[in-house]
Structure 1
């Protein structure tokens, strides 16, 4: 009986440990910048990647064909380091940013449509609408600024009282989500500035994300609270659950149908979640940039290629494709 009980206990322990393990075996990989990258973004369908490195500057890749489509070069004459890159939801446009300026790129023509400077705070995060004209910026001074570059309309959202860490914009540019050091996430209208939903946390909100159809929002703080919300009701749908002590994210994206969420961390971890239950479905460990001490691998972005695969883009300058088994 003692042997049997020990065996059962051992099986339970193994099962728990397996739930914490992270796979390091990717199905496919693309080496885009062997020297590492300061920013990489993936298009929503995971076909295209836009990355910046000091040596190669800004490059647009077609991952399906495994080739460079365009070498876009530098963002500004001073060759400031690009730290943020985001695609529009439709993949036609992209926005890149340093701490003090940003540029919009028309990827169909492989050219910049303009360069703009920001004077009243450091850029913490950016987002871009499908038209390539609607920009949302989160700043270190507590402002979230929405700009229509065609009309020149500028709306300053001032509900945050401390640094805005993360922003997300609906594809049509009409709705915004912002999170900051004041422990709040706000879902608001870019047309009126009206707050539609407020999501309170006990610690600083570091990551926010919108589901493209406006069904869900993610707000995640710097502690262990990562919550998926119903945007229509403001109610909590689920809370992400894991054995990890802290859930600090560097990227997040919902699947097109909203049933899954993929998150990346500053510590090289990629995770796929069930939106309705908050349970982790998969866990992966991305490649590290090895020529630094200690080795590091920030997951800058992730995107669902299909129901069977998810792609990660990390600071190692490598894109990896991972199999989703559930």
Structure 2
């Protein structure tokens, strides 16, 4: 029996090891002391990160060098907890708990700083023109702001903290998820909910496919669903043997065929949108001298060549190759 048990355990170990592909194609150490927030551009070329040592720094990963040192977000050197780069790669939003700034990355300068007084900022997103902002707040509000016209809309359907938001590239549609177990897909012109997606526990992560084909919502348990935005119905469920699927980041491929996610537990995963099957997974590098080894995967992206890019709190950005994606 002992021999059989050992053989069984050995077989399971081989099986588990075969699922992981931990050899990164390339690694960039962009923040040796770790980062409190990192965002990747949609094509995985640029990374905008914040650390207390460097403040805000823009990296060009293709050139493997710092493209711009943006400095502090405000005069108080507030800790930046949220960053997003616009779909067209030109603009970025950075946010502390009580204010946010918009940056023109082509010039490496801020275009403005705005304060929020009725709730702490929990999540942010930005339209391609850099003028439309979506915020998720701790008071249960999702706020849409058009900085060009000054128009502001408060979406009040959530009853608790809004943890994650996503804004369409043109700023017309929004997706928000909160502690109340609800995710809403809504119109920023009318403020009306188009679809509502119910979960059993709090919704931690949402994402929109850039052409409006799909939405992704995931809760703090095992509920992770890809929805068709044509019908408002579930398109697929992510399949996993884990008891929990807690995601810190998620992004669809441009064509919508794949979803890549990053977890609070260093895990980077590639999923097939149609089936919800996990195609590949990797483990991001942990921060040095942490026990147990840890890193939060703040953002993920897929390059035009089909490589997966991950950026983590450990201060590392890593490129991963998957045989399931087309490589040029």
TM-score of the aligned structures, taking structure 1 as reference length: 0.95
Paired position in structure 1 for 2:200: 202
The number of aligned residues is: 322
1:84 corresponds to which of 82, 85, 97:
82
Correspondence 1:163 to 2:151: no
Paired position in structure 2 for 1:100: 98
- Counterpart-to-counterpart distance in 2, 1:291 and 1:101: 33
Paired position in structure 2 for 1:321: 319
Paired position in structure 2 for 1:53: 51
Paired position in structure 2 for 1:74: 72
SS of residue in 1 equivalent to 2:247: coil
Paired position in structure 1 for 2:29: 31
1:308 corresponds to which of 306, 309, 313:
306
Query: 1:13-32 maps to which residues of 2 (within 5 A)?
Result: 13=12, 16-18=15-17, 21-32=19-30
SS of residue in 2 equivalent to 1:250: strand
1:237 corresponds to which of 235, 238, 241:
235
SS of residue in 1 equivalent to 2:241: coil
| Deviation beyond 2 Å, 4+ runs, structure 1 | 8-19, 21-24, 291-295
Q: Is the 8 A contact 1:61 1:69 kept in 2?
A: yes
Deviation at 1:291, TM superposition (A): 3.7
* Residues 161/10 of structure 1: CA separation in 2 closer, same or farther (3 Å cut): closer
Query: 1:155-234 maps to which residues of 2 (within 5 A)?
Result: 155-234=153-232
- Counterpart-to-counterpart distance in 2, 1:55 and 1:15: 42
TM-score of the aligned structures, taking structure 2 as reference length: 0.94
Deviation at 1:270, TM superposition (A): 0.3
**1:1-30: CA deviation from partner (whole Å, max 9, x where unpaired):** xxxx99x978974675356x4332101011
Deviation at 1:295, TM superposition (A): 3.4
- Counterpart-to-counterpart distance in 2, 1:169 and 1:209: 9
1:273 corresponds to which of 267, 271, 275:
271
Paired position in structure 2 for 1:263: 261
Q: Is the 8 A contact 1:83 1:98 kept in 2?
A: yes
- Counterpart-to-counterpart distance in 1, 2:247 and 2:184: 18
**1:170-219: CA deviation from partner (whole Å, max 9, x where unpaired):** 00000000000111100000000011001011111010000000000000
Paired position in structure 2 for 1:120: 118
Instruction: Give the aligned CA root-mean-square deviation in angstroms.
Output: 2.0
* Residues 230/12 of structure 1: CA separation in 2 closer, same or farther (3 Å cut): farther
Paired position in structure 1 for 2:138: 140
Deviation at 1:80, TM superposition (A): 1.0
- Counterpart-to-counterpart distance in 2, 1:241 and 1:16: 17
Q: Is the 8 A contact 1:308 1:325 kept in 2?
A: no
Q: Is the 8 A contact 1:168 1:176 kept in 2?
A: yes
Structure 1: which 5+ runs fail to align?
Answer: none
Q: Is the 8 A contact 1:307 1:324 kept in 2?
A: no
SS of residue in 1 equivalent to 2:153: strand
